[in-house]
Structure 1
Amino acid sequence: MAEPLLEVRNLSVTFHTARGPVQAVRNVSWQVAPGEVLAILGESGSGKSVSASAVMDLIDCPPGEITSGQIIYRGKDLLTMDADERREINGKRIAMIFQDPLSHLNPVYSVGWQIEEALTTHGTARSQAKAKTLELMEKVGIPNPAASAVKYPHQFSGGQRQRLMIAMALALRPDVLIADEPTTALDVTVQAQILSLLEELQHETGMALLIITHDLGVVAEIADRVVVMNAGEIVEQGTAAEVYANPQHEYTKRLIGAAPGQGEMHENPPKTDPILRLENVSKKYGEFTALGGVNFDLCEGETLAIVGESGSGKSTTARVLLRLEEPSGGRAMYNGRDLFTLSPRELFEMRRDIQMVFQDPTQSLNPRMTVYQIISEAWVIHPEILPKTRWRDRVSELLEQVGLQAEHAHRNPHQFSGGQRQRIAIARALALEPRVIVCDEAVSALDVQVQAQVIDLLDRLKDEFGLSYIFIAHDLPVVRDFADRVIVMQKGEIVEQGPVRQIFENPRETYTQNLLAASLDPDPEVQAQRRAERLARTA
């Protein structure tokens, strides 16, 4: 193995909180060599991002404190350097791209100016920086760099924003690139493009690449070695193939066992009468057609998945169905009534029956309300459901049904993990006793074990309450395990639909075939075979 370029030795990080010290990282050691891809794998709270933040000097001290260890870059300990020395290395020699580029790109400056700033801050002349910026934007696949450079972050898609972050990170040709969850919440094809881009740029520059992820598919696709973290400690490490084929630690075994796409597919979709029928539903924004005549049925007790890339129209379909946006044409028949022609009063009553669980519970739960207030708000709006004397007991029942505890009712959303917040959102939806729940990317940003738990919960609740689901997702392995029937959307239209087994094992349309080919498998051997087939098709 080559001499390490970056090495973390016995690193420990403690955060001082109102409830006492929390040791986020304990005696963590790893190293990465030039040209190598090292993945740090683990769930939220495992300490993987904290150790990378320590490398970049991004831990707030206080409340954080690095209590022990060394971070060695080219033979020098970063932790003993002063601020000026560290500034010369951060961004220039060691760069980082973050999970949510919209939060890390300044909304009031053009993207071109922001990439230029990364260059000029480290001594590049402004005239040279402009030319270099356009070159970088072209290299990462941004169309028409000159016109795109004057646009703002909100004018780009999620995948394009991530490409811009990569361009900014690579501006000074760093030796080490740290990528913190760089593909989470991206569509499968965009995810494949970003990983391919990182791999291509790494081969071109010879940099070391450190990937922080909870996705076993990402590890299988790109990593040479993997470090598995749990509760602030490294529990296992080795080559990606060795760790997957022969995991030694119980935690690693649970992670691999929770990876979606390995269970039995649903064989027989429910053959009941449709509870909901969309007929030629369309949505236009000026001259742009977001939906071009969508038709499908949802049967009682069925899980109908809608898949497709960003911009395919799947979320627009959900928003139009729920009248969060008004349709341009078509009908949505529910219990013999057209949802699109209901009066405001009738629509208010109908909302009891069709509820929605959104992708990001942090944004969809009011941070100033307790869990009790969030759930019981449904009965404030619809008092006919439950007398007030029963509210407290029913909140406790709902929390227990979604795998939480009755005493959680008095906490606020920020006191829960992402998976727990999503459970609270599900409990809120169940409070209205709906017949249909629309899940819009409800598990896409969750860790694999939490994702598996939420899917199991949704499956159990479907049987318990006789629910029907419209499950919007870009994570095809999850759809494979959970759905009865699948609709594939592209550019506002349905290009293919059928039972889950037919779509996954015998897709007819080229678009569906490409979507499935871009999906990542947790097994490095399977993924290597898929990569070879993909390269053969494009050769």
Structure 2
Amino acid sequence: MADHLLEVRNLSVEFHTAVGVVKAVRDMSYHLDRGETLAILGESGSGKSVSASAIMDLIDMPPGRISSGEILLDGVDLLTMPLSERREINGRKIAMIFQDPLSHLNPVYTVGWQIREALTTHGTERAKAQAEALRLLGRVGIPDPAHALDKYPHEFSGGQRQRVMIAMALALRPDLLIADEPTTALDVTVQAEVLALLKELQRETGMAVLIITHDLGVVAEIADRVVVMEKGVLVEAGMVREVYKNPRHAYTKKLIAAAPGKGEMHEPLKGKEPVLRVRDVHKNYGAFTALKGVSFDLLAGETLAIVGESGSGKSTLARILLRLDEPDSGTALWKGRDLFQLSPAELYKLRRDLQMVFQDPTQSLNPRMTVYQLISEAWVIHPDILPKAKWRDRVAELLTQVGLGPEHMGRYPHQFSGGQRQRIAIARALALEPQLIICDEAVSALDVSVQAQVIALLDGLRKTMGIAFIFIAHDLPVVRDFADHVMVMQKGEVVELGTVREIFDTPQKPYTQALLAAGLDPDPDVQAQNRAARLSRAS
């Protein structure tokens, strides 16, 4: 038997691009034992996902190339193995779940077919595969698994799709499960459920888990050991508690210092009139009621955070306020004018004042346009904002503000990581110097240090330019640091509305209390206490 289930030795991966060779991973070494959970922590572009993709043989070659190293599974080097043998190992001995399950589940096949395929490809009889698919869906907590087998991926919520991916990954009882940002886009309660499910399945099967994340709370909740990566290099490794309490490398210290939820809470603004008054907004989609009489006020320069689980109506409300959807009833007075009654011409003029940053930048950024074109497009549509001679300098300034650089202007969206694409989307929204920005999970995909930088940027704009924000988020520590007021939604209704201090210190409603209890703390000791308290309440 090998000393370790997985051992990576001196792994180096590079990509050949039009502007030269990018060294994504450099001489990386670590190990993972059976029944153990190892977290790879780092920012976008640090090489986390690339190193994991090398294990699964998922790197496109070319342009990628593994220039050095060994990847040993039970002592056998995967990199020198014939492709036919490698194919047998992927799925059977090593499985992977991805950050965005909707992009990795085939939209034209039912989830039952896809789970069965994972089994039959490796020799399981069809009847046994059907029974096992049914058992797996039930095991990962999908309601009515017999009926769910015949559903398509789009018919499930984000958390349910992630559970389907976990079921597929576990179909062949692998020795190693690689989880690449598996909870980034999930609500706090669903995130807690998915992480608890992974730990429970790990105890049952004895599999090792390699989890890739930028979230210190996830590391504190699930990992035994952690390795920290910066710019392709492993800079620190150790037990989770030791690394958090006594970080040695400057980059690790920076990540820990940037963790949200520890700063001073905002005191609510006083003496200002609301710029937006929303009253009794309803929206139905056939038999489904998405919004049930939502009302709130928003002051100039104020941040209202909207929190709640998927399906609570947060994004529907955002789209209605921007007239991307139409309400069934209600009013939304922007400086005294009802947004719902404006003509298309009036709405066009107002668009520059009201901007939105969407949750998924891959869908909101035109893949055919460069970063320069994406950001400067705002001035093409509204030419009175900025003379063309100043466009390039302003784009460079905006990119620098959101943590990128002028050298990124000529690239296309697909050449960036998910977190970097979100920064581009934020820069694009800022180009028009709006008075209200609606951020729909705008920082959920960002690394902690970049997240802190972007939040500081938005907070500075709020103070200096009087920009108001409607901040839709599931990351409660970020909400605590950034918001003035918090509105908690559940199933289309406002269940609680108050200052950030009232909501976080003295929540009144059980639903709000459950949301806060499900949040993850980056301190392993605090998170262990929270987990124990949660289990005590559940029992």
TM-score, normalised via structure 2 length = 0.96
Shift of 1:231: 1.5
1:225 and 2:225 are equivalent in the alignment: yes
Q: Aligned residue for 1:339?
A: 339
Q: Is the 8 A contact 1:93 1:175 kept in 2?
A: yes
Q: Aligned residue for 1:144?
A: 144
Which SS does the other structure have where 1:521 is aligned? coil
Q: Aligned residue for 1:267?
A: 267
Question: After the TM superposition, which residues 274-285 of structure 1 pair with which residues of structure 2 at under 5 Å, given as runs?
Answer: 274-285=274-285
Letter in 2 for 1:116: R
Rate the CA distance shift 1:87–1:384 in 2: closer, same or farther, 3 A.
Answer: closer
Q: Is the 8 A contact 2:305 2:487 kept in 1?
A: yes
Q: Aligned residue for 2:120?
A: 120
Q: Aligned residue for 1:34?
A: 34
Which SS does the other structure have where 1:91 is aligned? helix
Point out where structure 2 has 5 or more consecutive residues left out of the alignment. Answer: none
Rate the CA distance shift 1:333–1:244 in 2: closer, same or farther, 3 A.
Answer: same
Question: After the TM superposition, which residues 200-215 of structure 1 pair with which residues of structure 2 at under 5 Å, given as runs?
Answer: 200-215=200-215
Q: Aligned residue for 1:193?
A: 193
Shift of 1:288: 0.9
1:63 and 2:79 are equivalent in the alignment: no
Q: Aligned residue for 1:48?
A: 48
Q: Aligned residue for 1:537?
A: 537
How many corresponding residue pairs? 538
Q: Is the 8 A contact 1:419 1:451 kept in 2?
A: no
Q: Is the 8 A contact 1:362 1:413 kept in 2?
A: yes
Which SS does the other structure have where 1:459 is aligned? helix
State the alpha-carbon separation in 1 of the partners of residues 239 and 402 from structure 2. 37
Q: Is the 8 A contact 1:269 1:499 kept in 2?
A: no
Shift of 1:76: 1.7
| Residues 509-529 of structure 1, C-alpha deviations (whole Å, 9 max, x = no match) | 110110011010000000000
Q: Is the 8 A contact 2:304 2:485 kept in 1?
A: yes
Q: Is the 8 A contact 1:14 1:24 kept in 2?
A: yes
Shift of 1:378: 2.6
Q: Aligned residue for 1:295?
A: 295
1:352 and 2:352 are equivalent in the alignment: yes
Letter in 2 for 1:126: R
State the alpha-carbon separation in 2 of the partners of residues 377 and 155 from structure 1. 35
Letter in 2 for 1:307: V
Which SS does the other structure have where 1:247 is aligned? coil
| Residues 202-227 of structure 1, C-alpha deviations (whole Å, 9 max, x = no match) | 00111111111111000000101111
Letter in 1 for 2:181: E
Q: Aligned residue for 1:509?
A: 509
Rate the CA distance shift 1:47–1:394 in 2: closer, same or farther, 3 A.
Answer: closer
Shift of 1:356: 0.9
Q: Which moved more, 1:189-198 or 1:46-55?
A: 46-55
State the alpha-carbon separation in 2 of the partners of residues 10 and 408 from structure 1. 30
Rate the CA distance shift 1:323–1:239 in 2: closer, same or farther, 3 A.
Answer: same
Letter in 2 for 1:130: Q
Question: After the TM superposition, which residues 249-398 of structure 1 pair with which residues of structure 2 at under 5 Å, given as runs?
Answer: 249-386=249-386, 391=391, 394-395=394-395, 398=398
| Residues 426-452 of structure 1, C-alpha deviations (whole Å, 9 max, x = no match) | 333233332111111110011111111
State the alpha-carbon separation in 2 of the partners of residues 311 and 466 from structure 1. 31
Q: Aligned residue for 1:4?
A: 4
State the alpha-carbon separation in 2 of the partners of residues 390 and 229 from structure 1. 38
| Residues 243-276 of structure 1, C-alpha deviations (whole Å, 9 max, x = no match) | 0000011010001111111111112334411000
Q: Aligned residue for 1:81?
A: 81
Q: Aligned residue for 1:184?
A: 184
Q: Aligned residue for 2:175?
A: 175
1:476 and 2:483 are equivalent in the alignment: no
Letter in 1 for 2:490: Q
Shift of 1:26: 1.6
Letter in 2 for 1:341: Q
Letter in 2 for 1:434: P
State the alpha-carbon separation in 2 of the partners of residues 70 and 392 from structure 1. 45
Rate the CA distance shift 1:117–1:278 in 2: closer, same or farther, 3 A.
Answer: same
Shift of 1:382: 3.1
1:24 and 2:28 are equivalent in the alignment: no
State the alpha-carbon separation in 2 of the partners of residues 126 and 381 from structure 1. 57
Which SS does the other structure have where 2:92 is aligned? coil
State the alpha-carbon separation in 1 of the partners of residues 377 and 422 from structure 2. 17
Q: Which moved more, 1:482-491 or 1:417-426?
A: 417-426
Which SS does the other structure have where 1:516 is aligned? helix
Shift of 1:403: 5.5
| Residues 98-136 of structure 1, C-alpha deviations (whole Å, 9 max, x = no match) | 111111111111100100011111111001110111000
Which SS does the other structure have where 2:331 is aligned? strand
Q: Aligned residue for 1:243?
A: 243
Which SS does the other structure have where 1:265 is aligned? coil
Which SS does the other structure have where 1:58 is aligned? coil
Q: Is the 8 A contact 2:374 2:428 kept in 1?
A: yes
Q: Which moved more, 1:94-103 or 1:196-205?
A: 94-103
State the alpha-carbon separation in 2 of the partners of residues 225 and 386 from structure 1. 51
Q: Is the 8 A contact 1:97 1:180 kept in 2?
A: yes
State the alpha-carbon separation in 2 of the partners of residues 90 and 430 from structure 1. 44
Rate the CA distance shift 1:286–1:372 in 2: closer, same or farther, 3 A.
Answer: same
Q: Is the 8 A contact 1:361 1:418 kept in 2?
A: yes
| RMSD (CA atoms) | 1.9
Q: Is the 8 A contact 1:271 1:299 kept in 2?
A: no
| Residues 34-88 of structure 1, C-alpha deviations (whole Å, 9 max, x = no match) | 1111111111121121221111111222222222222222222222221222122
Rate the CA distance shift 1:66–1:377 in 2: closer, same or farther, 3 A.
Answer: closer
State the alpha-carbon separation in 1 of the partners of residues 261 and 499 from structure 2. 16
Q: Is the 8 A contact 1:37 1:208 kept in 2?
A: yes
| Residues 6-55 of structure 1, C-alpha deviations (whole Å, 9 max, x = no match) | 11122222222233322222221111111111111111121121221111
State the alpha-carbon separation in 1 of the partners of residues 514 and 138 from structure 2. 24
Letter in 2 for 1:40: I
Q: Which moved more, 1:201-210 or 1:431-440?
A: 431-440
Which SS does the other structure have where 1:438 is aligned? strand
Shift of 1:393: 5.6
Q: Is the 8 A contact 2:370 2:412 kept in 1?
A: yes
Which SS does the other structure have where 1:61 is aligned? coil
